């Protein structure tokens, strides 16, 4: 893709990560900054063990977050790369995926 080639050719490209967040959108963030790095810091600030953290994602920018979480959940309409790293796949985001995951947590299906 031409856009990513242009980003990678930039003189400061080694200082940033380029993450596809939608089909036509890229995020430009400082090297190493991602949801997967933020999640453990948030959990620690809230006093929650990472084994009890559930993360839900659908696109490339969620990969590190799903890997960091105790349980990584992909929605059914997620890209294949997300499904590959997820521990569990739920219904699509158009079918109230967050509500479904909360119900399954409440019933003890996702975390024991």
Give tens-digit pLDDT for 30-87.
988 899 999 999 999 999 999 999 999 999 899 999 999 999 999 999 999 999 999 9
Fold of the domain spanning 34-106: Rossmann fold (3.40.50)
Q: What pLDDT does 1 receive?
A: 63
Q: Is the dihedral of CA 78, 55, 27, 4 positive or negative?
A: negative
Q: What pLDDT does 13 receive?
A: 84
Specify the pTM: 0.82
Q: What pLDDT does 32 receive?
A: 85
Residue pair 69/37 in contact (Cβ under 8 Å)? The answer is no
Q: What pLDDT does 20 receive?
A: 78
Pairing, β 54-57 against β 71-74: parallel
Burial class (CB in 10 A: 0-12, 13-18, 19+), 9: exposed
Q: What pLDDT does 38 receive?
A: 94
Work out the number of other CB atoms within 10 angstroms of the CB of residue 109.
Answer: 12
Predicted confidence band of residue 112 (pLDDT cuts 50, 70, 90): low
Predicted confidence band of residue 25 (pLDDT cuts 50, 70, 90): confident
Predicted confidence band of residue 99 (pLDDT cuts 50, 70, 90): very high
pLDDT higher than threshold 90 for residue 21: no
């Amino acid at each position: 893709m031409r856009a990513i080639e242009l980003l990678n050719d930039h003189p400061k490209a080694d200082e940033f990560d380029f993450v596809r967040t939608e089909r036509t959108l890229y995020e430009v963030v400082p090297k190493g900054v991602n949801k997967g790095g933020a999640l453990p810091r948030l959990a620690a600030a809230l006093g929650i063990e990472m084994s009890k953290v559930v993360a839900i994602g659908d696109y490339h920018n969620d990969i590190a977050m799903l890997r960091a979480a105790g349980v990584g959940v992909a929605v059914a309409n997620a890209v294949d790369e997300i499904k590959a790293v997820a521990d569990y796949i739920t219904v699509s985001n158009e079918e109230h995926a967050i509500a479904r995951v909360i119900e399954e947590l409440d019933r003890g299906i996702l975390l024991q």
